[in-house]
């Protein structure tokens, strides 16, 4: 079950319910993998709708691994995510938002 207070985002990957979470380790993985000097740049890309499919895959990969699912980015890129590419992008954006904002 996804816990918004912990930053969890629920999504369905290949027909299985999953929880994604951006842990501190997942955030560090993103900075390195996306060659960002800080996560502010990544957040700004999503806010301005300038993100790439690579950004979405990297965010979901880091988040799913942070939530305990062991999948590579290549496996995530090939997976069926409920909602298709837009559902995946929405989940990735929610992950970023929940990592830095306390839910109301």
pLDDT at 104: 66
Question: Low-confidence residues of the chain, pLDDT below 50?
Answer: none
pLDDT at 44: 82
Q: How far apart are the first and last CA of the chain?
A: 18
Strand partners, 16: 13
pLDDT digits (tens, 9 = 90+) for 45-70: 778 888 889 989 999 999 999 999 99
Q: What are the structural domain ranges in the chain?
A: 4-100
Cα separation, 93 vs 56, in Å, equals 8
pLDDT at 102: 63
Cα separation, 53 vs 59, in Å, equals 10
pLDDT at 27: 84
Tokens representing 33 are 């993998």
pLDDT at 81: 96
């Amino acid at each position: 079950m996804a816990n918004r207070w912990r930053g969890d985002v629920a999504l369905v990957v290949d027909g299985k319910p999953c929880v994604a979470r951006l842990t501190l380790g997942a955030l560090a993985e993103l900075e390195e993998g996306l060659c960002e000097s800080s996560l502010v740049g990544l957040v700004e890309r999503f806010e301005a709708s300038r993100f790439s499919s690579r950004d979405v895959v990297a965010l979901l990969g880091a988040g799913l691994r942070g939530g305990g699912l062991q999948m590579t980015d290549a496996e995530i890129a090939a997976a069926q995510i409920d909602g298709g590419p837009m559902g995946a992008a929405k989940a990735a954006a929610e992950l970023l938002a929940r990592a830095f904002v306390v839910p109301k």
